[in-house]
Structure formats: C-alpha cells, structure tokens
Amino acid sequence: MKSVMQTLKDHVSIREFIDKPIEDDLLMELIDTARRSPTSSNMQAYSFVVIRDRQRIKHIASLAGNQKWIENAAAFIAICADTYRLQKAAEIHEKNLAKNFENFLVSSVDAALVGMSLSLAAESVGLGTTMVGGIRNRPIEVARFLELPEGVYVVFGLAIGWPDWQRVKPKKPRLPQEAVTHQETYSAKGLEKHIEDYDHVLYDYYTMTGRKSPKAAWSGIIARRFSEGRRPHLKKDLEELGFILK
C-alpha cells in the first residue's frame, strides 16, 4: 500500500483497464475507508451506488456521454449527494428538511469529499480511477436508472479497475504552483504569463501523448468549452430531482 503523499504524487486518471474483477471485500473496505472522510455537521449527506453488472456499466457509459472506455472498468461507483436520508431523519421528528441552496451545496461537497477519498484509497492499493462528470449530462435518466429517491443526484461517477499500465499515459502537468497558490492575500500578478507558460507545457504534453489540441492548449480549450456555459439543463433537472438552487 502506498502512502497518501506518494499516491497523490503519482495520480493520473486511468481509462485503460485489464480484464480483472475487484474482490468484494477490497471494494467494501475501500468504501468503508472513504466513509471516514470529514462530513459537514456529521450529516453524511452522500450515498454510493456500486454498479458491477457489465450490461449496466455499458448503459452507464452511454448515459455519461457515450464514453466507451468506461465499459472496461471493473466497477462504476455513482457518488451521490443524498438529502433523502436527512428528510427521513427529520420526519421521525415530524419536521421536513429545509429545501435550500445550502443543503444542495453541503450534500454536493460531502459527496465530492468521499468520492475523492475513495479514489485516493483505491489508487493507494494499485487500482486506477477516473472521475466521470459526464454522468451529469442526463441526470434524470441516470436517477431513474439507479432508482434514486427524491433529493438524491449523482454528482460524479468513479470508474475503477486494475490499470493496464502499458497503455496508461504519463502524468498530466498542472498549472504552475504560483498560479494557484497565494501568500496571505490573493495575487493575480503574472497570471497571464503563467497561463501562457502552461499553454506551452500542456501543448507539448498533448503532442507527446498523441492528442490533438489548439496551440493554446489550456486557455484555448477553456475558452472554447466553457464560455457558453455547459449543461444549461442542469438547474432545471436538479430541481426536478428535489434540489432547490435559489
């Protein structure tokens, strides 16, 4: 088992898996370990839905934007924000859970924390993972497929399996540390230069790994993919699933 520091230092998203299952006991131990994560006010406002049936993983891959590589994962774990259990707890005392933006945010943060912990625990024992935000492309169909009750949505999925190291790409470089770390107060000094430098570094990385990219490999993709605002349906869909976003 690798240390936390080493596991984080070695992280790379794994989308290339060998055909080998994950033992039940190991998967449950990983989930149980992730459950030690801090959680806002001890609400534990999350749930895991573990999918291992091959046909169901295939369907999940199609729901998550037709990401074919997911089909080869040993398991897909839907990391859900869960306010349903909180509502049930409130009902025991003849109350209702407040439906507000805070509860949406708290449950989403709780889910992100356990999801990250699960990924980290899995990577520490040699498994490979990739988080799958594409699962938010069609939240209502996903909720139906997983039979989620009201007040639960999938924040992201975790595709997990044993890596096929021969096909795994090298680690993706990050923005320079100074671009994301500020001392005492936020400083945007030199930011344009940091972005320009990173555009070059990432372009070289994409060229080396055979991926086509614009010359401005980071800022160009950010501008192209995110200036329009992705998933415009999301707010309405999440409201339909029982979350209040105002």
Min separation Cβ 155 and ligand FMN, Å: 8
Ranked by CB distance to ligand FMN, the top (closest) residue is 133
The residue among 156 and 243 lying less far from ligand FMN, judged by its C-beta, is: 156
Our CB check for ligand FMN shows the closer of 167 and 172 to be 172
**Terminal-to-terminal C-alpha distance of the chain:** 44
- The contact set with ligand FMN (CB under 6 A) reads 11-13, 15, 67, 130-134, 156, 172
Q: Which is nearer to ligand FMN, 13 or 40 (CB)?
A: 13
Rg for the chain, CA atoms, rounded: 20
We find the least distance from the C-beta atom of residue 246 to ligand FMN, in angstroms, to be 23
In this complex, which beta carbon is closest to ligand FMN, that of residue 67 or of residue 87? 67
Shortest Å distance, C-beta 87 to ligand FMN = 26
Q: How many residues does the chain have?
A: 246
Gap between the Cα atoms of 209 and 171, Å rounded: 10
CB of 27 to ligand FMN, least distance (A): 20
Cα separation, 8 vs 37, whole angstroms: 16
Q: Identify the residue whose tokens are 């997911």.
A: 70
Cβ–Cβ under 8 Å, residues 130 and 58 = no
Helix (H) or strand (E) holding 119, with range, is helix 101-124
